[in-house]
Structure formats: C-alpha cells, structure tokens
Amino acid sequence: MSGTDDLLVEPDRLAAELDSADPPTLLDVRWRLTGPPGRDDYTVGHLPGAVFVDLDTELCGPPGAAGRHPLPDPAALQAALRAAGVRTGHPVVVYDGGEGMAAARAWWTLRWVGHAQVRLLHGGYPAWTAAALPTSADVPEPEPGDVSVRPGALPVLDAGEAARLAAADGGVLIDVRAAPRYRGETEPIDPVAGHVPGAVNLPAPEYVTDGRFPAAEALRERFAAAGVSDGTAVGAYCGSGVTAAQAVLALHLAGRPDAALYVGSWSNWVADPDRPVATGS
C-alpha cells in the first residue's frame, strides 16, 4: 500500500527539503481548462527554483481523436522533462493552483513513465502562500536532467478496455464528472452528452475538497460506496483524463495502486460515433 508520504508533501516539510543540500526538483504545472495559460501565474510568482511545465503542450499530446489530453509522445516528453531538470532517481514535487488536478496528471505522467519518486504538494500554491513561505519571480535555468522515459509503469485503459471494465462482473469504471454531465443533462465541452454504459458516477468533490484529500480510511469508504472493494478491478475517466488522474491518485492513497486511467476519457469515447452512449442515472 502506498503511504501518504510517498504521494503527498505538506508545505512545511517541502520548505525544509528545499533548504537541504539536495532539494527535490520542483515543477509548476498550474493550468486552467479554459485559460488563461498557467505560465502567466508562474511569471507573477512561484516556489523558488520551480520550473514551469505546460500540461497542454508538454505533458500531453496534441488534441484529436485520442482525446483532448492524450498521452504524450515519449521522446517529446523526455525532452521536456530533461529541460526541466528531472534526473533519474531524483525526487520531484509537482504543484498547481490548488485544485490538484493538473498536478495529479503530472504526477501520474511521471509515474507512468517510470519515475517513482514524485509527490504532489498538498494544497498546491495556495497552501504554500497561506503558510507565508517565500515565493519568487526569478526564472531558474536548471541543469539539464537525464531522466529516461519508459512508458507503461502505470495501467492505462483504451476505449475497448474501458467498455469491458464497465461491463464486467467484479469491475468498476468510475466517471468522476459532475452528475449532470454523467446523466447527459448538459455537456459544456464535448459534442455528445452522457456516459460510458455501465460506468458509475462518483464526482470528484466526493473524494477531494479544494485539492486536499481526506484520510485513507475515508477514501476507502467513499470508493467502496461506488463498488470498489478489495479485488475489484477499477479504472477512472473524466472529460479528458485530467480530473480522472486525480481520482487515480486518490485510489493510490486508498491502497489501490493498480487503478487504471482511461486517458482519452469521454473526449476520446465520443470521437467514434459507433460507441454507445448511456444517459440518466
């Protein structure tokens, strides 16, 4: 079972680590679905020594039939991570604007390519500033890293696998979007409303509040209420695989490191008009 200390770090502890002789590499991944770009926030102020990495263009591939935030090209991702100073075997801490979604997708991406030593700053940039810890507008020039990208260290679902998981006895596919989107009553982003047939709805606010996670036991209870128990195969999806990455992180905290991410999520599912769409609850 993954421990909280392996996945999350609180601001005071991170501050102490940054003052050490060998601080972790810091990645600022602030992002908003509808903009403006997170780099604007980074320019105003960030954790000292943090390097900005763009979720849309560096941590994900170009949008298209594979989804709005598909898997990145491994070579391009490796170049971006090395430019940010990510080193083999060296700890990384990622943070965002406090929602925890972009940071979770960055965490997942690094774990997916085999970089195990990555944690999320719990509460993100707002938690850091609320603790009256220092910020900087200086843009660092990190020494290039040597990380090697080796995809496959975390499980991934494609559309067919997501459908089979949703339909399987002993399997649960969690849709973490808001209930009206799941039920097909509204769809503000993608061209078709509804959900993957057989998926169960567990909106993100049920397991995370303002980017902060409850204790592991509370998470286990909330996922159990959605049908996730010991031995249950589980995967998660959202609109484009960002909020669902946060669900996978929550499942890791709850002791389920086998949780799979449907990266393409709903934006990939509806790209094929032949795929069935369910509505209602």
- In the chain (281 residues long), the average pLDDT of successive 10-residue segments reads 79 98 97 89 97 97 97 98 98 97 98 98 98 97 97 98 94 98 97 98 96 96 94 96 98 97 98 97 88
Residues 60 and 120 in one domain: yes
Query: How many CA atoms lie less than 13 Å away from 175 in the CB half-sphere?
Result: 27
Residues 40 and 102 in one domain: yes
Angstrom distance (rounded) from CA 215 to CA 27: 25
What stretches of 133-215 show up as alpha helix (H) in DSSP?
A: 159-167, 179-183
Catalytic residue among 66, 113, 238, 251: 238
Residues 114 and 160 in one domain: no
Model confidence pLDDT, tens digit, residues 139-171: 999 999 999 999 999 999 999 999 999 999 889
Residues 172 and 246 in one domain: yes
Residues 163 and 121 in one domain: no
Is residue 276 in a domain?
no
The pTM of this model reads 0.96
Tell me if residue 60 is catalytic: no
Domain coverage including residue 259: 156-269
User: What is the side-by-side strand order in the sheet with 92-95?
Assistant: 8-9, 118-121, 92-95, 25-28, 51-52
Is residue 80 in a domain?
yes
DSSP assigned state of 13:
H
Is residue 144 in a domain?
no
Tokens of 75: 């070579």
pLDDT of residue 231: 86
Kindly report the CATH number assigned to the domain that includes residue 223.
3.40.250.10
The number of distinct structural domains making up the chain is 2
pLDDT of residue 3: 64
